Homo-oligomer: A and B are copies of this chain.
Amino acid sequence: MPSKKLKSATATHATVGRATIADVAREAGVSKATVSRFLNHRDKLLSKDIATRVEVAVAALAYSPSPMAQALKRGRSRLIGLVVADVTNPFSVAVLRGAEKACQEAGYLLMLFNLGNDGAREREAIEALTAYQVEGFILNTLGRDAGALANAARHGKPVVLVDRRHHDMQADFVSLDNAGAVRLGARHLQKAGYRELLFVSEPMKDVSSREERAAAFRAFVSEPAAGLHGSTFESAPDDEAGLDRALQALRARAADGLPGVLTSNAVVTLRVVASLARLGWRLGADVGLVGFDDTEWAPFVGPGLSTIAQPTDELGRIAAGCLIERLKGLQLPPRQILLAGTLMARGSSQPARI
């Protein structure tokens, strides 16, 4: 019990608060510099004798350096900023999970900022995070404010984009192979006999993944060989009636066949399922459905929801991995890493019987 700091007047038991490097130095009878050297360069430049003395003192005081002070001095904080468009979206959470794990393993901590789907706060988020000296960003954001981003990049902080691309941005990009995944789903519906297809997504709002999926859908249905007819619908969260009408119109168009629906994420899938319930249509009988994102509940909704599974954990882990590589100094032009989706065929896309 060597160190007594009585600054806080009423210090009671020995050390109030954490031990500092000065405490350790005093305890070991050496200078702060020596302690710092022991901690950072252990092997080089240290006599065996002193090394052990410091080691003992560190252990005795249960000392560990203050990351705050280190950050101030070194300019590096061992912090990674994660900006998420919407923690409510299962996809975001899954990515978060993968990223958090990879960061922890690499000794980084995550600072979280949730946009709650409010794109206007993107800049706020990035600024708050930069203020805390985060060393880099993992962004799964709306992408309205490329300026804020460019700003982060200018500060030399590496950025990894997940799922949502910002075109004018020099950054690694990790995402599902949207085009491939859409084809997977659409072709599945086609093979099951659905000929009149509807792609339902959230309002585009410049979100690249939505746009890419919609474009891939249009491309697929317009291939003459496909023998399909397709259209798209943007479903606003509060516009249930609009979605109902869109589905009714789809069915009308499908007069001679069965209508099939492809949804762009789990949130929309649920909206469509709700709408179908209102309309009284049976999944896999009156209408075929394939949705993005394979949630744990997908197998149990109706006859089982057919989905396109995203390797979410992978995505998160890879995103974090890319960032950490950059933090370790990797110099490379921006990479694009696209992972394939997997079709999980279930009852909702049973072969259409006319």
Interface positions of A (Cβ within 8 A of B): 17-18, 64, 66-69, 71-72, 77, 79, 82, 87-88, 93, 96-97, 100-101, 104, 109-114, 116, 127-133, 155, 270, 273-274, 277, 295-297, 299-302
Contact B270 A300 (CB under 8 A): yes
**Within the complex, what minimum Cβ distance (angstroms) separates A225 from chain B?**
35
Whole-angstrom CA separation of A111 from B67 in the bound complex: 14
Question: Which of B72, B116, B130 makes the CB contact (< 8 A) with A101?
Answer: B116
**Within the complex, what minimum Cβ distance (angstroms) separates A227 from chain B?**
32
Which of chain B's residues have a CB closer than 8 A to the CB of A297? 270, 295, 297, 301
Which of chain B's residues have a CB closer than 8 A to the CB of A97? 87-88, 114, 116
Which of chain B's residues have a CB closer than 8 A to the CB of A299? 274, 277
Question: Which of B71, B100, B132 makes the CB contact (< 8 A) with A87?
Answer: B100
Contact A66 B131 (CB under 8 A): yes
Contact A128 B109 (CB under 8 A): yes
Question: Which of B79, B101, B270 makes the CB contact (< 8 A) with A114?
Answer: B101
Given contacts A114-B101, A301-B297, contact A17 B68 (CB under 8 A): no
Whole-angstrom CA separation of A17 from B54 in the bound complex: 36
**Within the complex, what minimum Cβ distance (angstroms) separates A214 from chain B?**
23
Which of chain B's residues have a CB closer than 8 A to the CB of A77? 68
Question: Which of B71, B87, B112 makes the CB contact (< 8 A) with A68?
Answer: B71
Contact A133 B93 (CB under 8 A): no
Given contacts A67-B131, A87-B93, A155-B17, contact A111 B114 (CB under 8 A): no
**Within the complex, what minimum Cβ distance (angstroms) separates A104 from chain B?**
8
Whole-angstrom CA separation of A144 from B190 in the bound complex: 53
Which of chain B's residues have a CB closer than 8 A to the CB of A131? 18, 64, 66-67
Given contacts A77-B68, A131-B64, contact A110 B109 (CB under 8 A): no
Which of chain B's residues have a CB closer than 8 A to the CB of A110? 111-113
Would you list 17 pairs from A and B whose C-beta atoms are within 8 A, ordered by A residue? Answer: A18-B131, A66-B133, A67-B132, A68-B68, A68-B132, A68-B133, A79-B132, A87-B96, A87-B97, A97-B116, A100-B114, A101-B114, A104-B114, A110-B112, A110-B113, A273-B300, A297-B297
Question: Which of B66, B93, B111, B130 makes the CB contact (< 8 A) with A111?
Answer: B111
Whole-angstrom CA separation of A87 from B103 in the bound complex: 15
Whole-angstrom CA separation of A93 from B90 in the bound complex: 9
**Within the complex, what minimum Cβ distance (angstroms) separates A292 from chain B?**
15
Whole-angstrom CA separation of A109 from B100 in the bound complex: 16
Residue of B nearest to A100 (CB): B114
**Within the complex, what minimum Cβ distance (angstroms) separates A261 from chain B?**
15
Whole-angstrom CA separation of A130 from B133 in the bound complex: 17
Question: Which of B72, B79, B133, B300 makes the CB contact (< 8 A) with A274?
Answer: B300
Whole-angstrom CA separation of A97 from B114 in the bound complex: 8
Whole-angstrom CA separation of A273 from B132 in the bound complex: 45
Whole-angstrom CA separation of A96 from B300 in the bound complex: 26
Closest 4 CB pairs of A and B: A297-B297, A300-B301, A112-B112, A100-B114
